[in-house]
Amino acid sequence: MLELFHTAVYEPIYNALALIIGSIPGGDVGVAIVILTLLVRLLLFPLSFAAIRTQMTMREIDPLMKKLRVDFKENKEELAKRTMALFKEYKINPFASFFLILIQLPVIIGLYTVLINESKVLSFDPATLYSFVQVPAETSLSFLGILDLSGKSIILALIVAATQFLFAKLMTPPHTPASTSAAPSLEEDIQKSMSIQMRFVFPVLMGIVAYAASSSIALYFVVSNTFSIGQELFVRSMYGKR
């Protein structure tokens, strides 16, 4: 499995990074990271588009789902039938997002692994490079001549936390209980707890990881988070028009 991952995922990304660095005047690694991250995210965009649309439709029918759970809380079999009928009516594949995550995850992990391995050392192994890819003649860890990517950056770490917070806010709309008179159910309590963690805890953890890793990894997170925010807003606009 590791060998397959290395051949199918790690090596293509590894070679792409070397090729991009070699094509940039001055071999600016920061610019190469931005370009490579955007290329990978654009490559995965069709999958992400479908997943986001599924999530938005799920949010749209959430009140109907809550009503079904209340009406058929004593009849699990009927609840399952009504739920599947609702999914069919709105053309929802409940496993679509999970399947798409499984496809995207190895690519994202491969990109992260390449950056964490190469962004500090910059010693590309000729044995891992394809025949048409040369070891970059010049490399620079000074991003745009301003930021040293070999060290740590509290500024980039804070930007990572901020962009992750904005993305989490987009992904977790305000919690609305099924009934204003009844006490919150266990499911609603769990959803509220997860929403709070996604909005506040996870961005802080991402900021800490970005600072502890390196400025290059933090830059990758900033670009990826910014792309995710733009992607979410774009799909929402397209979804609204349709």
Interval 132-181: pLDDT, tens: 999 998 888 889 888 888 888 999 999 999 999 999 888 776 555 544 44
Q: Which of 29, 46, 55 is nearest to 216 (CA)?
A: 29
CB count, 10 Å around CB of 238?
A: 12
Dihedral angle at the C-alpha atoms of 159, 162, 166, 168, nearest 10 degrees? 110
Strand-pair partners of 140: 28
Interval 100-132: pLDDT, tens: 667 777 887 888 888 887 665 567 888 889 999
Interval 191-223: pLDDT, tens: 666 667 677 888 999 999 999 888 888 999 999
H-run or E-run covering 142: strand 142-143
Residue 162 in contact with residue 200, Cβ under 8 Å? no
Q: Which of 121, 118, 148 is nearest to 219 (CA)?
A: 148
